[in-house]
Structure 1
Amino acid sequence: MALSYITEAQVADLAAIMHIINDAKAFLKASGSSQWQEGYPDEATILSDIKEHAGFILKTDGQIAAYAAITGQDPNYAVIDGAWANVADPYAAIHRIAIGSAFRGQHLAGQFLNQLIALGLSRGIKNFRVDTGKANAAMQHLALSHGFQLRGIIKVTSDSIDPSRLAYELNLPAE
């Protein structure tokens, strides 16, 4: 098994990250999803993640295999058609999860998500939220297979084609 670990993304990683993001956009389009088909996430979004220390990469055998951002409170999550189970405690939103096409099928997305959650836990966060398009079966499977529960539908401002997103939440018990 190859050595895989996460690390904070750096500006020097931008070209590799954008390649992964563009791979993910093509994958989503081929699967019939309108998600990420209007430019988002773009280079400015990823640079903002990096500058805010929110962008993370998964390295596998020294290569950047995946990208994601861990952010704080997301204004898109303020209104939900459904209900969040935990509205009292802070949460981390995990966004822009993307795996490079050369690394698909290696179960790295699950490893990456596990490590992102572990990073959140190391920062005292026990509640996590993700969202995805209705046609993004891969992300839906990833969320459900990692204990996230479907809580309802939110609307995102970055997609004028179909702003509806399935919203998932993971609440880990206090120790």
Structure 2
Amino acid sequence: MTLIYTRSAKQSDLEVIMQIIQEAKNFLKDSGSSQWQGTYPDKTTIQDDIENGYGLVLIVDGQVAGYSAVITGIEPTYINIEGSWKNNKDVYATIHRMAISSKFRGMHLADKFLSNIISVKYAEGVRNFRIDTSRKNKIVQHIATSHNFEERGIIYVDEDPEDKSRLAYELNL
């Protein structure tokens, strides 16, 4: 039986996380997306995530198989949206930088990871979740909508010089 769980990321996970991020960058590039094709997310970003307690890792049979940053509070890029948020309360968790190792591709781990993230934050009292992705990232769009996230509009990011627009999704529990 495969043991799968989510825990806080540690600095000792950094090298494996960066390998997973690079694999995700390559996957996005191969799929024609401009998302993550610059320096973002870089090692400093991930180190900051871990130091601030935002980083979570998905563990599969003792190995780091996925990474995400989950930040509770105001996300500056979400303040201006072409569309509208259903819940405008200040308490929401934004799911950023989610990536699964290519070694574990095909195991539907992104579904499990997102479910775990929601459960962890729900236990902390969070009832509102947000995520965004490129129009070309059909995988994240599918994962979001299959977890009952609703598309709420378009937000804009700075790190993608080719396409700054992102589809924004929200889940209210």
- TM-score grouping bracket, smaller chain normalisation: over 0.9
CA distance in structure 1 between the partners assigned to 2:86 and 2:122 by the alignment: 18
Deviations along 1:85-123, one digit per CA (max 9) or x if unpaired, are 000351000000000001111011000000000011011
Q: Does 1:63 align with 2:63?
A: yes
Aligned residues: percent identity?
52
Matches within 5 A, 1:20-39: 20-39=20-39
Q: Classify the secondary structure of the residue corresponding to 2:142.
A: helix
Q: TM-score, normalised by structure 2?
A: 0.98
Q: TM-score, normalised by structure 1?
A: 0.97
How far is the alpha carbon of 1:157 from its aligned partner?
1.8
CA distance in structure 2 between the partners assigned to 1:7 and 1:52 by the alignment: 14
RMSD: 0.8
Moved runs in structure 1, 4+ residues, more than 4 A? Answer: none
Matches within 5 A, 1:72-91: 72=72, 73-91=74-92
2:137 aligns with: 136
How far is the alpha carbon of 1:23 from its aligned partner?
0.4
The letter of the residue matching 1:57 is V
CA distance in structure 1 between the partners assigned to 2:40 and 2:68 by the alignment: 14
1:152 aligns with: 153
Unaligned 5+ segments in structure 2 are none
CA distance in structure 2 between the partners assigned to 1:160 and 1:129 by the alignment: 23
Q: Does 1:100 align with 2:101?
A: yes
